[in-house]
A and B are shown apart, each in its own frame.
Chain A
Amino acid sequence: MSETTVAPGQPLTVEEQEVKPGFIGQNVPRKEDQRLVQGEGVFVDDVKRHGMAYVHFVRSPYAHAAITRIDVSKAAELEGVYGTLIGEEVAATTDAFFQIAPPPGGHVKDFALAVGRVRHVGEPVVAVAAVTRELARDAADLVEVDYEPLEPVLDPERAADPATPVLHDDVGSNVIWSGEFDYGDYEAALAEADKVVRIKRLHFDRFSSTPLETSGAVVEYNRGTAQWTIHSNNQFPGFAQIMMAPALRVGIDKLRFVSQDIGGGFGNKICTHVQLVALCLLARKLKRPVNWTEWRTDQHTANSHGNERVFLDVEVPVKSDGTLLGFRARMIDDCGAYTRYEPLGCIIWAQVTPGVYRWRNIRVDFTQVCTNKSPCGPNRGYSRMQHLWFTERVIDIVAHELGIDPVEMRKRNYIRSDEMPYETPNGCVYDSGDYAACLDQALALIDYDGIEERRRDAEARGKLLGVGIGSTLDSGTNNFGQSTILNPELQFSGNNEVATVKLDIFGEIVVTIGTTPQGQSHETTAAQVVAEILGVTPDEVNVRAGHDSYWNSHAGFSGTYASQFAVTGLGAVKGATDMLAEEIKQIGAAVLGAESTDDVYLEGGFVKRNDNPEAALPFMACGAIVNANNAVLPMEARGITLNCRYVYVPPHQLPDKERKYGNLTLTYANQIHACVVEIDPETGVYEIVDYSAVDDCGVRINPQIVEGQVHGATAQSIGAATHETFPYDEDGNLLTPNFYDYHVPHALDMPPMKTGYVESPSPFTPLGAKGMGEGGGAGISAVCAALQNALAAAGKPIVYDSSNPYKRVWELLRNPDDSRALVTVDDA
């Protein structure tokens, strides 16, 4: 394969590509589709058990309040109610969840239900279980809770102020984590600069990917074995087990996690361990299975938002020609009321510290605070999205203020393909990529050369046209050792994933994987890899659907999150299949009288002798011999099981905690997006009239699936850029608690989307592939940049927020000087 190729049909140099003989790189039809298009998938609410109770949570109507009294007696008396659970019982029978933060941030006490105090609207206070969903709600209405309201903390920029009320008394302030990141020589960069651009404030808004299937679980408790079976749509069971087992005071093996089909996750289904503990307690207490299916409003108010982040006092030293020397900023991240996956977001952004740019001198003062809003957690592009948006916004503002063409600005500062692998100022290693080639292709797709003509045409129609560019570094296979930069006491590092591949008694090839796919087509791509290695077709490979911790095909980091399956999951599949192939060859060589496994090969479901392909042993015979007729085997072959388990472990090292330095993730897929908008200057209403997204994720195992991920991630970012936001009123009520108020893109909202690709294989991964799927963030940047570009003709306001509904654009049009006051340019 050539080092870098581009999509056929694009007006760029196309290098010869080797024709791939097997199934890797082919658009193999998805194995998952047969059941899903017939409504025969099994999602969590489809799981039913005899005598199952339905659970409804009584939730806090206050953002911040002390709980003074709870009375469940009326609810308990209602016929058909099985029982209730309150915070006091939770505090007595479980331990608070383990905290990732070091003290004092790590002193947060987080339980499955509120204990003594509520800290956000929608926080679960009491759980009620009844014979039907409807009755559980009736009973919840009969639960009496008295509150003593407290002043809510809503503004992250004021949360750390000593005069502000404190959410978690044991922490002593609202600061969860704070630290300085200092790379290169920032003062020298300042001295070398011709100009210094200063931006007072930028803001990345709250939103989430809001999977269409809400969270849920069916939990069973086996009293004889003291074991729970948790049918859920949790997407990171490895993490959930680590959080839940100590809280429930049991061993990990007492928590069996099962899932088949999951209706979207996007990171939002990582932190459901809180509700799952409440369900475990109820199942044990009530001696019956319990079902909990989250209501849409509950998902919006109390599940997991994407982090809000403020960038303050940004300073960018730059040469007159636009060469970027560095940046400095204060960043305040708002994680909401509780720290569940947090404060990991305080380090995960550092995977992409300079973005796609050659910034070498960087100083960031990063603080995470808690507020009386929904807890935050991973959301497609977790923590990197916020930071990459910041880098792209800075590039555009600097380019506009210095009068440099934004395309030229980017090309001058992009990390170049001939610099790969590229070590960033904080020790991360970008494995491969050609950002300039991606940009060229993205611009060609939107006919950038004709943009000025289109601008004039738009002007003639009374519209302001703008073009913008965005980028995403979709860093994947992260090194959990980065958590030790936050908390040196943590014993987390590296990463892993597991697969087993076996040849069964009738010759069936059976694959199990440790992941929890939510639409990422793992059954299909795993089958492609296995088929390629074993010389069969993907149809002949049976990949078990979903996840079951009883399959023993999981490890501590098993799950589906953070763009890693193509590396960790398929790395494990490849490892296990290579082992199995060798064992099949050993059996074949023994039976066919070949001297060694080098003298045989696998083809079409047979082991064949190199020197005489007619001498062939079918896989079925191999499976039968080992599993049911093994006395025929020579003694040296008796150790063969044809059941191979492989744990893929990436080559991570511990980072340097003092310097906050090291390689924090293994691969860096990238996307470059280009966007054209037309604004109606009278109203602020705008339309995305052209859009392109070019993806480079290394070797594409299944191009159609990759493109699908690009489409979907782009749609989510366009939603976030235009309408999706989680605003709160002054009392801490979420104003968009359902799909009426929280407007996600529907089919008519989506612009025409053009996609392209570049393929820069990763030198660090088993298949040259990179994890991908989180590339959408580029869309938010591209829309912001296009608005900025269009508004240049209307007083040059500064696009300072990631979320730009029509109203905000209208405000920018009306008062351009308000936002212009955010930016100054000084001669150094």
Chain B
Amino acid sequence: MEPVAAKRITVTVNGDSHEREVEARRLLVHFLRDDLDLTGTHIGCDTGNCGACTVIYDGMAIKSCMILAVQADGAAIETVEGLAANGELHPLQKAFGATHALQCGYCTPGMLMSAKHLLEHNPEPTDEEIRRALQGNICRCTGYVNIVEAVQAAAKGEVGT
């Protein structure tokens, strides 16, 4: 088969279906940010270490700088923009604010998506389990103390509904 430089893909993001022609080499994170204008998903390292670009992809928490957009053809993706519903913040979003779990806010979208994935699979995590689940997300501002607290608060429903 002849190699192709571009391909038409269909991706569902936060419930909305998007069909686009993309360069075969375009990273999923650039597809989200540049093609779909979903700039809430950030880039921090280019090497898959920092987790700022974490999204939920067919139920898995993945780093969207580590896969190509063409690989995501047919996938259902959740990004930070899809967390709040009907004008109401997600409990994790509320908890992050209430516990001062963000300063500059650059790592926050990725942290939130990793934390959401954790709580969906482990609704009552220990602090150690939270730290393990967030190990792939780097924060340079908070030292993680309040982030762990935020995830616990959200898990325990301590931040309202």
Contact = CB atoms under 8 A, between A and B. Distances in A.
Interface residues of A, number: 58
Interface string B100-113: 10111111110010
Q: State the main secondary structure of chain B at its contact with A.
A: loop
B96 A712 contact: no
Interface in A495-539: 518-521
Interface stretch (A12-20, A30-38, A466-474, A673-681): A30-38
Chain A interface main SS type: loop
Contacts of B80: 37-39
Interface string A39-79: 11111011010000000000000000000000000000000
Interface in A709-751: 709, 711-712, 714-716, 738-740, 744-748, 750
Interface stretch (A164-172, A257-265, A568-576, A619-627): A257-265
B105 A708 contact: no
Contacts of B50: 212, 739
Interface in A267-314: 293, 295-297
A42 B105 CA distance: 10
Interface in B133-158: 134-148
Contacts of B52: 212
A200 interface: no
Contacts of B47: 296, 738-740
A209 interface: yes
Nearest to A132: B23
Contacts of B72: none
A785 B127 CA distance: 29
B76 interface: no
A39 B131 contact: no
B134 A209 contact: no
Given A43-B42, A264-B104, A739 B141 contact: no
Interface string A692-708: 00000000000011011
Nearest to B147: A747
A8 B63 CA distance: 42
B103 A521 contact: yes
A212 to B, nearest CB: 4
B13 interface: no
Nearest to A295: B46
Contact of A263 (B83, B97, B106, B131): B106
A212 B139 contact: yes
Contacts of B45: 212, 296, 738-739
Nearest to B51: A746
Contact of A519 (B33, B40, B104, B147): B104
A30 B144 CA distance: 18
Contact of B105 (A295, A519, A705): A519
B39 interface: yes
A211 interface: yes
A297 B103 CA distance: 24
A748 B135 contact: yes
Q: How large is the interface on B (under 10, 10 to 19, 20 to 34, 35 or more residues)?
A: 35 or more
B130 A39 contact: no
Given A212-B138, A747-B131, A748-B132, A39 B109 contact: yes
A210 interface: yes
Nearest to A710: B143
B97 A33 contact: yes
A705 B42 contact: no
A29 interface: yes
B13 to A, nearest CB: 12
A212 B103 contact: no
A46 B39 contact: yes
Contact of B145 (A36, A38, A750): A750
B62 to A, nearest CB: 17
Interface string B42-66: 1111110110100000000000000
Interface string B19-41: 00001011000100110011111
Contact of A37 (B39, B112, B135, B137): B112
A386 interface: no
A213 interface: yes
Given A712-B142, A746-B138, A263 B81 contact: no
Contacts of B97: 29-30, 33-34, 37
Most buried by B among A45, A709, A739: A739
28 contacts: A29-B98, A32-B105, A37-B83, A37-B112, A38-B40, A38-B93, A39-B38, A41-B105, A42-B39, A43-B42, A212-B45, A212-B107, A214-B44, A261-B104, A263-B42, A263-B106, A264-B140, A296-B47, A521-B103, A711-B142, A711-B143, A711-B144, A711-B145, A712-B142, A738-B45, A746-B138, A747-B134, A747-B137
Question: Nearest 3 pairs between A and B by C-beta?
Answer: A39-B40, A263-B106, A36-B105
Interface of B: 23, 25-26, 30, 33-34, 37-47, 49-50, 52, 79-81, 83-84, 89, 93, 96-98, 100, 102-109, 112, 130-132, 134-148
Given A39-B39, A739-B45, A740-B47, 14 more contacts: A32-B105, A38-B84, A41-B106, A48-B37, A209-B140, A212-B106, A212-B140, A213-B106, A293-B43, A708-B103, A711-B143, A712-B142, A745-B143, A750-B144
